[in-house]
Amino acid sequence: MRFITTLLPLALGVTAQQYAGDIISANLPTIAGAEVAFFKIPDPTGASNLTLINYYSHGTNGGRIVESNIKRAVISLHGLLRDPNNYMTDTLNALAQAKASDANINADSVAVLAPYFPNGNDKYYAYPWTDGLRAGRGSQTSALVWSGSQWSAGGNNQYPYTSTNTSSYFVLDTLIQYFADETLFPNLNQIVLVGHSLGGQMLQRYAAVGPDLNVRVPVTYWIGNPDSYAWLNEDRPLSTAACPDYDEYRSGYSNYSDYPMTYGVDLVNQGREAIQANYQNKQIAYARALLDHGDHSSDCGANTTGADRHERFFFFIQSWRPSCDDPASDNCDTVDLINVSHDNGQMFNSPAGLARLFTDNFYGARNRAYDFGYPRAQAGDDPYPDPAQESVPNAGINYNVYAGGMTYQGCWTNQQPVTPAALPTLLYDNAGNSIEGCVNGCLGAGFSIAGVQNATQCFCGSALNAQSAVLVVDTSCRLACPGNTAQICGSINRLSVFSAQYPTFA
């Protein structure tokens, strides 16, 4: 095989073909219900044809799907571990759950594709490698391979070394166009892109810079539990003082062209409003695991958008409100709060996961399940609420009245030491802390605001420091008070605040 480097004009057309890529012989595991398949991807110049390794589902008879019977395509993106085999298995297990409630939803009507974005650690396992060649030349096949985790941000491939301008986002474009091809899939009603964790990051950033491909069926972007987001403007909810590069891609969009990618540059050059409009044109299904307060983000930009995945999610949807003017439209965002941990299998198998992945619009009638997850965690998290659930109170809110008429005023950040303290006086830090203890102590010392933090700490003041204190989602404050474990006493750098009036700022 050789790669010609002449530039040929190429429309962004549907030339990719499943099974038509080169067969890349390596050591990927075989799994039940799917095969390792090879998708032909033209490089963006048209000078060569590259190969996307993927897992592709089989029909119920164990053979290849019959394209004309397929009603839905689910493209399931792996996370940091680059394990498309597991994502395929988890997606197929969820498909079996969906089939249990509607037998028409099955492996003959739903095509599942789990693309593989391998990196250098996957040589021998995912693609052959010849030792002893010049640096970077050991991959001699057309297999698409990226560097590190750059696949998750749209980075260009690194192998084959003769053709290194294929963005992982161009690959997603190609997959969408492939399934939207009416000749091949005449009965397709819906495409769902599914990304959890780093796959969720991949999708959020893709939704922002990917063009409207004008395909003939709705495309949903299911974004589950990303560590971080590319923030769509230059504002940040939290202090940027400790992170001067907070707006560089992948946290924001400055220095976009310094990232090793060629995709989306024209849009980004048009400015943030163009990016926001492009993002808001997409149908996003937000999926949030309520027990997931983790964070594996590797750069400080994420910290300027929240303490962890949970807080960042609520800040993000507060800044860019999900919308659903018409549930039957092709641009209805949904918000599902799912009471599980950071686990894609649990997310997929939840009622919300099954609806978004498999049942919404299955028959092409634009029907959609109501948003899942009550009570609301924050106003605005729910563009398409089930009216029957509207009155369910928010379990994260404390409705009690304490001494001096003090009531709960929300969960606030204390961004010390990046900023001054949110409340100036640490009254005590001890294992008997309770809301009453802190409220009474602060009142007795002449303060009008009491804040309990990190379980054991009691802070007092008469105003919140405006640089330090930002209102966050109530469920960010989640540690039990050691003196009364039925109460919530903030979290690390998060204050449950009590006062008789809404706090003033200093």
Ligand X SMILES: *[C@@H]1O[C@H](CO)[C@@H](O)[C@H](O)[C@H]1NC(C)=O
Which residues are at the interface with ligand X (CB under 6 A)? 7, 15, 17, 40, 42, 45, 47-49, 156, 165, 248, 255, 258, 262, 298-300, 303, 339, 454, 456, 492-493
Q: Which is nearer to ligand X, 147 or 165 (CB)?
A: 165
Q: Which is nearer to ligand X, 228 or 283 (CB)?
A: 228
At residue 249's C-alpha, the angle toward residues 80 and 176, to 5°, is 60
Give Cα 294 distance to the centre of its chain: 13
Q: Which is nearer to ligand X, 208 or 377 (CB)?
A: 377
Q: Which is nearer to ligand X, 76 or 240 (CB)?
A: 240
Question: Shortest Cβ distance from residue 443 to ligand X (Å)?
Answer: 23
Question: Shortest Cβ distance from residue 7 to ligand X (Å)?
Answer: 6
Q: How far is Cα 117 from Cα 328, in angstroms, rounded to an integer?
A: 34
Question: Shortest Cβ distance from residue 374 to ligand X (Å)?
Answer: 9
156 backbone dihedrals φ, ψ, rounded to 5° = -75, 155
Q: In 161-212, which ranges are continuous DSSP H helix?
A: 168-179, 198-209
Question: Shortest Cβ distance from residue 48 to ligand X (Å)?
Answer: 5
Q: How far is Cα 374 from Cα 152, in angstroms, rounded to an integer?
A: 31
At residue 396's C-alpha, the angle toward residues 395 and 401, to 5°, is 95
Q: Is 352 helix (H, G, I), strand (E, B) or coil?
A: helix
Give the total residue count for the chain: 506
CB atoms within 10 A of CB 277: 12
Question: Shortest Cβ distance from residue 304 to ligand X (Å)?
Answer: 9
Q: Which is nearer to ligand X, 241 or 492 (CB)?
A: 492
Sign of CA dihedral 443, 447, 448, 452: negative
Question: Shortest Cβ distance from residue 156 to ligand X (Å)?
Answer: 6
Question: Shortest Cβ distance from residue 493 to ligand X (Å)?
Answer: 6
Q: Which is nearer to ligand X, 399 or 502 (CB)?
A: 399
Q: Which is nearer to ligand X, 129 or 256 (CB)?
A: 256
C-alpha to C-alpha distances, 367 to 55, 76, 110, 451, nearest whole angstrom: 29, 22, 17, 46
